[in-house]
Structure 1
C-alpha cells in the first residue's frame, strides 16, 4: 500500500469516528436555538399582549406618521410606559396610572442624578446616548414626564428611580417645570386623587415641524409645548370615560390660571400626530376626544390658581 493511500484510509477512519460527536454538537446547538426561539417568542407575546395593554388604558398611543411609529421605541417600566423617540432623544408619550393616595405616605429621598437608559438604541450605539450632563448649562431643566413624587408614593423606590432614566426626561424651561407644570402635577397627586380615585395620565412634549436642539452633538430636540391628558372610567358603566386635557407652552411665568390651557384631546392629537384612545368604540372616542369638561374633575378657579411651591 502506498503512503498516500494509507493516509487517505486513516483520514476516512478519523472522519467516521468524529461524525457522532459532530452530530451531537449540531443537535445541542439546535436544541439551544429552539429554546431561545421559544423563550423569545414567549417574552414577546407576554410583553405585547399582556404586560403593555395592562398599563395602557384604551390602547398604546399610535403615530399617524409611519416614520415616527417606526423610530419610537416602547419601553415598559415598573409603574409607567414610555414611547421614546430615538430621533428626537425625547419621550413622545408617557402613560401611567395614579392610584389613590396611601394612608401612610412615604417621602422617599430624591436621587441626585439622572441616568442613561441602556434600552434606548442611542445607548446601544454609545456616542449619541442621552445622559445627565447633556442638559447641564443649557438653560433647560430635566423635566420628568412620569413624575417623581406620584410614582414614588404609589409604587415605591425602585419605580421612583426609573423616573430618573433619561428616556423619561425632556427639556423644560425652569418656570414651566418648577411652577406651572409642578402645580398641575400637585393637583393630580392631591386634589384629583383625593376626590376621584384612580385615573390614568398620558403626557409628553409637542414639537415644531423643525425643532431646535440642545447644544452639543446628541441632537436632543427642544419642545415648544407639553400636553397632559387625564382620563378615568365614569362611575356609571354606561357613561363614557371622563377626560381633562391641557397644553402648556414653554414660555410661561408659572403663575398663570391653569384653566387657560384647557384643550380637547383632539387638539393634542392634531399637534402631536398621535392617536391616544383608539381601543374605545369609535363613537365614544369621538365624543370624549372633543369634550372639555372641567366640572367632572372638580377643576374650578380656586384649584386652577393654586400657587407653586417654588
Structure 2
C-alpha cells in the first residue's frame, strides 16, 4: 500500500512539474509575442514621427535651381552636385528625440541609391586591399569622410542614422577639421536641444562649391575638396537663427569667430533658404547672428579675438600669439580679460578672450612678482581690453606670457 501511495505521489509531483513547465513556456511565449508587438508598435510610431519631421521640413527647403533634383530620405533631404561629387546642401531637423536617442554609429558607408547619376563611392576616399591572411590594408587619400548631416542627430532612428552614411552626405574634410571644430559645431547644435527640449532645430549644411576647386587626385570620381563649409540653424518656434562659415584651415580661431548670418551664406552659395516663410519674418530671421543663444561660451562672457587687420603694427591677437610660442621673440598681445583667477599657490592667471578651460592665451604672474605691482592685477584688469608685452611660452599647449613687472601690461585702446 505504501509503495502504491509513494508511486502516486511521485507521479503527481512529476505531472505537476510538467504542468508548471508548460505554464512557464506559455508565459514566455506570450511575453515574446508582446515584445514583438511592442517592437512593431515602436517602429510604427518611429515611422510616423519621421513622416511628420519630413512634412515639417518640406516647406523650409531651399528653392531648387535649374536642373536640380530633390533627393529625400527618411530624415534628410539633399541636392546632389554631380560636378563636385557631393551634396550642394543637406537639410534635416534635430528633434527633441535626440536627447534620449541610443542608436550608435553604424559606419555602413555606401553609395546613395537615389542619386541617378551615381554618388561618390568608397574608392573616392581610400583603397582597401585584402591580404592572404584575410586582413585588409587601407591606403587612405588623406581626407576623412566628413558628414554634412551628422549621424548623431539621428540617433533615435536606426534607419535614418544608417542613411546618414550614404556617400551623398559625405565631403572630404581634413581630419583635424572634421574631428575638431566641425564636430564641436555639430555638438553645439545638439546641445541646444538639451537646453530647449520643446522645440526643434532646422539645420542646413553644405560645402562652398565653386569652379576651380582641387580634387582628390586618386579618387575614382575626382571628388572636389572644398575650402569652406557652412551650416545654418533655425529655431522657428522661438524665432532664433544663426549660421557658420568655417574654413578647413581655421588658423586656430575659435568657433565663435565663424558665426555669421543666413543672408551671408545665401550670398556666398547662391542658395535661397526658407522661401516658405512670410517675407518679413524671413528677412528678420536671415539677418540674425544670435551668438548668445546658440554659443554658451559667448553667453558666459567669452568674446571673439580682436580682428588682426585692425590692430596697430607689431600687435597680435590671442590666436596669433600661438605662432610665436618658443620663438624667444618679444611681442605685444591684445585681448579682453574674460577670466581672472588666483591659483591655490597664489599665482595670478589672466585669460584673454576665452575662459579656462578653453583658454586661447594666458597671462601668468608669479606670486613672488606681485610686489612689483602698485595695484591688484585681478581687480584692475578683469573685463578690460589689455596689451601684454613679452616672450610667448608654452603652458600646457596654451600660449602664455610670464609677466614680472607692471609696465608689461597696459590698457588697449583702439586707434
TM-score (norm. length: structure 1): 0.69
Identify the residue that residue 123 of structure 2 maps to in structure 1: 133
The correspondence of residues 197-216 of structure 1 with structure 2, limited to 5 A, is: 197=197, 198-215=200-217, 216=219
Q: Pick one of 212, 227, 232 that aligns with 1:229.
A: 232
- Residue 259 of structure 2 corresponds to residue 262 of structure 1: yes
Is the alpha carbon distance of 1:252 and 1:160 closer, same or farther for their aligned partners in structure 2, counting shifts above 3 Å? same
Q: Distance in 2 between matches of 1:139 and 1:111?
A: 22
Q: Which runs of 5+ in 2 are unaligned?
A: 1-50, 127-139, 303-353, 359-415
1:23-81 deviation line (CA, Å, top 9, x unaligned): xxxxxxxxxxxxxxxxxxxxxxxxxxx98971526432125xx4xx31x3311111111
Q: Cα RMSD over matched residues?
A: 2.5
Deviation (angstroms), 1:247: 0.5
Identify the residue that residue 75 of structure 1 maps to in structure 2: 71
1:86-114 deviation line (CA, Å, top 9, x unaligned): 22211111111111156654142x23441
- Write 1 or 2 for the structure with the bigger share of helix: 1
1:184-223 deviation line (CA, Å, top 9, x unaligned): 1111122x01112321111111023322222245132221
Deviation (angstroms), 1:279: 1.3
Identify the residue that residue 115 of structure 1 maps to in structure 2: 110
Q: Pick one of 216, 221, 246 that aligns with 1:248.
A: 246
Secondary structure in structure 1 of the residue aligned to 2:149: coil
- Residue 90 of structure 2 corresponds to residue 94 of structure 1: yes
For these two proteins, the number of residue pairs brought into alignment is 238
Q: Distance in 1 between matches of 2:240 and 2:234?
A: 6
Q: Which runs of 5+ in 1 are unaligned?
A: 1-49, 124-128, 236-240
Q: Distance in 2 between matches of 1:273 and 1:102?
A: 31
Secondary structure in structure 2 of the residue aligned to 1:289: helix
Identify the residue that residue 310 of structure 2 maps to in structure 1: none
Identify the residue that residue 274 of structure 1 maps to in structure 2: 271
Greater RCO, 1 or 2 (C-alpha within 8 Å, sep 6+): 1
Identify the residue that residue 168 of structure 2 maps to in structure 1: 167
Q: Distance in 2 between matches of 1:139 and 1:259?
A: 27
Runs of 4+ in 1 over 4 A off after TM superposition: 50-53, 101-104, 302-307
Is the alpha carbon distance of 1:196 and 1:219 closer, same or farther for their aligned partners in structure 2, counting shifts above 3 Å? same
1:219-241 deviation line (CA, Å, top 9, x unaligned): 32221111111101244xxxxx2
Q: Distance in 2 between matches of 1:258 and 1:303?
A: 15
* Cα contact 1:244–1:294 (8 A) shared by 2: yes
- Residue 306 of structure 2 corresponds to residue 296 of structure 1: no
Identify the residue that residue 189 of structure 1 maps to in structure 2: 190
Is the alpha carbon distance of 1:112 and 1:284 closer, same or farther for their aligned partners in structure 2, counting shifts above 3 Å? closer
* Cα contact 2:266–2:272 (8 A) shared by 1: yes
Deviation (angstroms), 1:133: 2.3
TM-score (norm. length: structure 2): 0.53
Is the alpha carbon distance of 1:303 and 1:278 closer, same or farther for their aligned partners in structure 2, counting shifts above 3 Å? farther
Larger radius of gyration: 2
* Cα contact 2:98–2:154 (8 A) shared by 1: no
Q: Distance in 1 between matches of 2:147 and 2:301?
A: 22
